[in-house]
């Protein structure tokens, strides 16, 4: 981005401002078009039917089952339903328009994920070409779990929370722009047990800001740490507003600590020998990140390092978390390769949309964050 006559960033041209919103719509269409190409993939998981039956039971009885009515081995045992709101809403959609309406709704919800990845890349300072290219690679990773189950809400909410916290961290948004995150956490806790990953995001942003405030005696970082901590506490309190109260949180913890979970395919490490497209795309993102860190000559901000290390670790242990790593890593990689591409293709489309989105600006230096 070139500087204006008075040292301020130049405003994007009318063409760039016109191009940004329609192109984002094209990104939104990626998943619906993929779903039309492979219509059977969305409902292929047997768990989808179980969620729909549970939702129908909730609608028919007007209450959330407290005891397991389906399992032979666990009949009558306490049942902490981690996704009752998703199940009830899904059953209502099926009642109104059958499986086609339910499937369409799931496709449209998941279609927001590549949009959020693409938008965050542009807001971080990436050019159009690398932002779109890395979004496409991230979407190939996201295809590993593009099925009609409650986790699709977690994927969208994860991308939303990450974008909002990152925008505040880098000065693109004021603290008051975070007010709705506790409301989102309230809904999140009632649609899927993956709401705990929101705590991980908030905790990393708060922890890194607090560490930097102490290490560098930086008052601004200290204020950011207090804001992140306040948002984290508010989100935690909001998640208590569910039919099970704090028992929901311990139930998620108990589920993830079961020894039997290692036999679930989605909780096993990615199978690199099988050569599936999502796993190969995840590997490509990881290798690109290694190359950028090795030859780029620029240190990443502390909070980005923390996010990348944590979610890469999670993804290597569980294929289910590859999508979260892709959402974190793709915009960072796009931003880091943009200067390299601009130096070789200065007149091309690489920087066509840099700064075109509201709040968009080049990434701050590593020393500043």
Q: Would you state the pLDDT for residue 63?
A: 93
Q: Is the pLDDT of residue 237 over 60?
A: yes
pLDDT at residue 275, as a whole number:
81
Q: Is residue 124 exposed (0-12), middle (13-18) or buried (19+ Cβ within 10 Å)?
A: buried
Neighbours of 248 (CB within 10 A): 21
Dihedral angle sign, alpha carbons of residues 9, 15, 18, 23: negative
The average confidence (pLDDT) of the chain is 87
Specify the pTM: 0.89
Buried b vs exposed e over 301-312: b needs ≥16 C-beta within 10 Å? bbbbebbbebbb
Report the share of the chain in percent with pLDDT over 70.
86
Q: Give residue 151's pLDDT.
A: 94
In the predicted model, what is the mean pLDDT of residues 272-290? 94
163-187 exposure pattern, b = at least 16 Cβ within 10 A, e = fewer: bbbbbbbbebbeeeebeebbebbbb
Where are the extended beta strands (E) located within the chain?
none
Distance of CA 82 to the CA centre of its chain: 19
Across the range 217-236, mean pLDDT stands at 96
pLDDT category of residue 347 using cuts at 50, 70 and 90:
low
**DSSP β-bridge partners for residue 67:** 78
How far apart CA 130 and CA 69 sit, in angstroms, is: 50
pLDDT band for position 352 (50/70/90)?
low
- DSSP letter assigned to residue 266: G
Q: Assign 25 a pLDDT band (cuts: 50, 70, 90).
A: confident
pLDDT band for position 264 (cuts 50, 70, 90): confident
**Helix or strand or coil: residue 303?**
helix
Quick one: pLDDT at residue 255? 85
Q: Flag whether pLDDT at 30 surpasses 70.
A: yes
């Amino acid at each position: 981005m070139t500087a204006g006559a008075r040292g301020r960033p130049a405003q994007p041209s009318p063409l760039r401002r016109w191009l940004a919103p329609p192109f984002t719509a094209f990104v939104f269409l990626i998943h619906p078009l993929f779903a039309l190409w492979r219509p059977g993939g969305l409902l292929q998981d047997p768990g989808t039917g179980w969620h729909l039956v549970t939702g129908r039971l909730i609608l028919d009885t007007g209450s959330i089952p407290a005891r397991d009515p389906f399992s032979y081995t666990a009949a009558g045992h306490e049942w902490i339903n981690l996704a009752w709101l998703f199940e009830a809403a899904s059953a209502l959609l099926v009642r109104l328009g059958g499986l086609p309406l339910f499937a369409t709704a799931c496709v449209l919800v998941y279609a927001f994920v590549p949009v959020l990845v693409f938008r965050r890349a542009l807001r971080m300072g990436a050019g159009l070409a690398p932002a779109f290219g890395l979004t496409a690679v991230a979407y190939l990773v996201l295809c590993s779990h593009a099925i009609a189950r409650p986790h699709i809400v977690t994927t969208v909410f994860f991308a939303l929370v990450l974008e909002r916290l990152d925008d505040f961290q880098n000065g693109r948004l004021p603290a008051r722009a975070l007010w709705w995150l506790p409301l989102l956490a309230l809904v999140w806790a009632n649609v899927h047990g993956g709401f705990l990953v929101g705590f991980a995001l908030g905790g990393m942003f708060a922890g890194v800001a607090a560490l930097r405030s102490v290490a560098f005696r930086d008052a601004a970082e200290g204020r950011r740490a207090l804001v992140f901590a306040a948002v984290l506490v508010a989100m935690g309190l909001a998640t208590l507003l569910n039919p099970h109260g704090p028992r929901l949180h311990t139930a998620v913890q108990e589920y993830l600590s079961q020894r039997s979970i290692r036999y679930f395919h989605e909780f096993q490490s990615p199978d690199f020998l099988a050569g599936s497209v999502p796993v190969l795309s995840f590997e490509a993102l990881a290798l690109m990140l290694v190359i950028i860190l090795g030859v780029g000559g620029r240190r990443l901000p502390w909070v980005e390092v923390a996010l990348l290390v944590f979610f890469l670790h999670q993804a290597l242990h569980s294929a289910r978390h590859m999508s979260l790593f892709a959402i974190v890593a793709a915009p960072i990689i796009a931003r880091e390769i943009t200067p390299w591409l601009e130096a070789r293709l200065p007149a091309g489309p690489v920087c066509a949309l840099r700064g075109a989105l509201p709040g968009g600006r080049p990434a701050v230096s590593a020393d500043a964050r």
